[in-house]
Amino acid sequence: MKVFYSTTHRQHAPPFEIFDGGEKITNFEMPERMERILSALRADDRYEIAPPADFGLEPIRAVHDRSYLDFLRTAFDEWLAEDTDYERTALLPATFPLPGPRGHVPATLLGRAGYYMTDLSAPIVAGTYAAALAAANCALSGAQFIANSSFNLHPSSFALCRPPGHHAGRANCAGYCYINNAAVAAGWLAQLGRVVLLDIDYHAGNGTQDIFYERADVLTLSIHADPNFEYPYYSGYADQTGAGAGLGFHQNYPLPLGTDDAAYLATLEKAIERISAFHPSFLVISAGMDIYGEDPLGRIRITREGIRQIGQKIAALNLPTLAVMEGGYNNEALGLNVCAFLEAFHRETP
């Protein structure tokens, strides 16, 4: 199986995040996550790990607002240049727009920070932009691989992306996410055929929902903890099914607290029925391993064997498939969980 990975992710290492209730804690989304996954992948000689190609900004701008990307590129340098006595290790906003149309983009850095950064778990540091671009290129390289693999009827690839992406909307970062890697890859593949983006991360893919909500070129499905009790709270409800041209092209499957393997797999069967009825040419998976029952940020109870069966059921669709790494914060278990999920996607190649 082809895996795309970049060491550039190490440049993004926020020293803290502001957790629920305002507690300043060590960032859960740390570089060690990738080292644990890499160690597990390298123990299995069926994985070929390669660096990504550079696709430029065009496929990223196809899903993200240009002014947001400009902010992401320059924000930390602007923060360093500000004439203040604030701590300069990471940029986070203190003020956010009211609900409804956000109106004008403020001229000040902190005003733009609140405009483009919608929570306190996506701090910007010196290497954030470079790492986010590299992650997007990993996803695009994986997409290109499955699109070009004519030697294999059912090719698959894994984009080992960090930072993750599915909370990043068209014009915002949030929840450890800055560029929506899976959405960028799905948008690129949509030029070549029908695409389904299936999100299995514990948290609702609110950024993906935002990007594709009024688009009919990608069917987006998300299985996640009910936002009534879990982040991101305001997106991921069952009645949010798209709008305009995208009406009917989005489906959320919110899960109750404590969901176990059997209940999760039953919900997955419903999503698989939607995928089969859509007859896609490509499948992109936002593969979050925070569904694992011992994840510190999760409150459903999926076992490693359950994760393995999730992979098996998705792989049985026999579609060209790109899996994109999202969440998963139990570092001791993360590598083994990723390998359990990917096991069924191994394809024999000449």
* Amino acid 83: pLDDT: 77
**86 in a domain, yes or no?**
no
* Amino acid 347: pLDDT: 67
Q: Helices (H) and strands (E) in the chain — how many of each?
A: 10, 10
* Amino acid 350: pLDDT: 38
* Amino acid 82: pLDDT: 85
**83 in a domain, yes or no?**
no
**124 in a domain, yes or no?**
no
Pseudo-torsion of CA 269, 182, 311, 255, nearest 10°? Answer: -50
pLDDT of 247 higher than 70: yes
In which domain, by residue range, is 206 found? 2-14+28-52+134-345
* Amino acid 348: pLDDT: 55
**57 in a domain, yes or no?**
no
* Amino acid 102: pLDDT: 74
Please count the structural domains in the chain.
1
- Average of pLDDT values for 156-175? 98
- Average of pLDDT values for 295-305? 97
**66 in a domain, yes or no?**
no
Q: List the single range of 53-57, 102-106, 128-132, 168-172 with lowest mean pLDDT.
A: 102-106
- Predicted TM-score of the model (pTM): 0.97
- Kindly report the three-state secondary structure assignment for every residue of 15-42: CCEEEHHHEEECCCCCCHHHHHHHHHHH
- What confidence category does residue 159 fall into, taking pLDDT thresholds of 50, 70 and 90? very high
pLDDT of 8 higher than 90: yes
Task: Give the amino acid at 10.
Answer: R
**How many percent of the chain have pLDDT more than 70?**
98
Nearest Cα neighbor of 289 from 272, 271, 307, 276 is 307
CB atoms within 10 A of CB 231: 21
CATH code, 162: 3.40.800.20
CB 27 within 8 A of CB 16: yes
Strand 17-19 to 321-325 pairing:
unpaired
- What confidence category does residue 64 fall into, taking pLDDT thresholds of 50, 70 and 90? very high
**22 in a domain, yes or no?**
no
Catalytic status, residue 166: no
**350 in a domain, yes or no?**
no
- Report phi then psi at 19, rounded to 5: -90, 175
At 221-244, the pLDDT tens digits run 999 999 999 999 999 999 999 999
**285 in a domain, yes or no?**
yes
DSSP-derived secondary structure letter, 105: P
* Amino acid 349: pLDDT: 45
Which of these is catalytic: 167, 203, 224, 250? 167
* Amino acid 153: pLDDT: 73
